Amino acid sequence: MSEIQKKVYDALIPANENLEVLTKTFVVDGYKVVAQHNPARAVSSGAKLDKATIAKRKCFLCKENRPVDQPSVIYNENFEILKNPFPILKKHLTIPLMRHERQEILPHIATMLDLSKDLPDFDLLYNGPKCGASAPDHMHFQAVQTGLMPLDEKSLSEFDIVDGEIRNFGRKCLVFVGSDKEAICKQYRELYNKLEIKEDEWEPRMNIVAHYIPSANIWNVWVFPRDKHRPSYYEQGRMISPGVIDMAGILVFPKPDDFEDVDESMIRQIYKEVSL
Ligand SMILES: [Zn+2]
């Protein structure tokens, strides 16, 4: 086991981690989607993320605003690995940059792949600033135990993939696979450069999942190009604010009524609206 992963287990992962959430499983157009009722996520899903609100609040990812005794593991002198206080899945980590800089993937895509190689039990996750990140002003990744999201329950060969894109998935998703880190970064940058950057934003909207498989010495990197930040259901009062875990097949509903009402057509509509 890698040195870093061992440190993460020792310092951050409770031996008997218990995560009690209600779930309902759907198969929508051939793909599994899990709806999860997780009231603790209301803070994140309902967060106001306009510039004024962000400028006024204390950044919860900066070290000086975090609990003094919160354990952490330093990664490459740049990132700090922490336990996520509001987990969606077991072994849910938050990995902020150790400087207060805006959420931005391009300078850190290679680090994301390095992190996933050093944490092979985990999926590394990235939310763009308008795609589920609850701190768009502070660069951070997340990580969760691998194999728990519908996206990575299956092997890639079970998906219908044409020219790097998963077909009939209900949401846009591209996949990069390989053992050459530089080649994956290059492919990723080419995709990035093709995508539009919306007015007043600094990068194309997207979510990313990266996982490294040691036995095969390959990375799987899934990219979800995004359109809307939140689906129209949000404006109608439903609390649903999709980030990377939602895109990977676990839709989080903090409010009981929304969880009660969720059905296949709602799931279809959410993915359609937030995907490019
Ligand atoms: Zn900060």
Q: Ligand 1 center to residue 62 CA distance, Å?
A: 4
More confident position, 222 or 51 = 222
Average of per-residue pLDDT across 244-264: 97
Q: What is the bridge-based pairing of β-strands 93-96 and 79-83?
A: antiparallel
Share of residues in the chain with pLDDT > 90 (%): 88
Residue 51 pLDDT: 87
pLDDT of residue 227: 97
What average pLDDT does this structure show over 219-235?
97
Helix pair 109-118, 181-194: axis angle to 10 deg: 140
At residue 88, the pLDDT reads 96
Residue type, 207: N
Strands 165-166 and 122-127: unpaired
Question: According to the model, what pLDDT value does residue 155 have?
Answer: 87
Residue 208, beta-bridge partner list: 126, 223
Burial level of 273, CB count in 10 A (0-12/13-18/19+)? Answer: middle
Q: Residue 60 has what pLDDT?
A: 94
Give dist(CA 171, CA 253) in Å, integer: 19
Query: What does pTM read for this prediction?
Result: 0.97
Tell me how far the alpha carbon of residue 32 lies from the centroid of ligand 1, in angstroms.
Answer: 36
Q: Which of 139, 142, 132, 187 is nearest to 165 (CA)?
A: 187
CA 88–ligand 1 middle distance (angstroms): 22
Q: Ligand 1 centre from 160 Cα, in Å? A: 40
CA 203 to ligand 1 center in whole angstroms:
19
Q: Give distance in angstroms: CA of 221 to centre of ligand 1.
A: 27
How many whole angstroms from 135 Cα to the centroid of ligand 1? 8
What distance in angstroms lies between residue 276's CA and the mean position of ligand 1's atoms? 29
User: How many angstroms is it from 266 CA to the middle of ligand 1?
Assistant: 35
The tokens describing 62, both together, are 């900066």
Q: How confident is the model at residue 47 (pLDDT cuts 50, 70, 90)?
A: confident
Distance, in Å, from the CA atom of 70 to the CA atom of 67, rounded to the nearest integer, reads 5
Amino acid code (one letter) for 232: S
Confidence (pLDDT) at 263 = 97
- What architecture (CATH level 2) is domain 3-12+36-153+169-274? 2-Layer Sandwich (3.30)
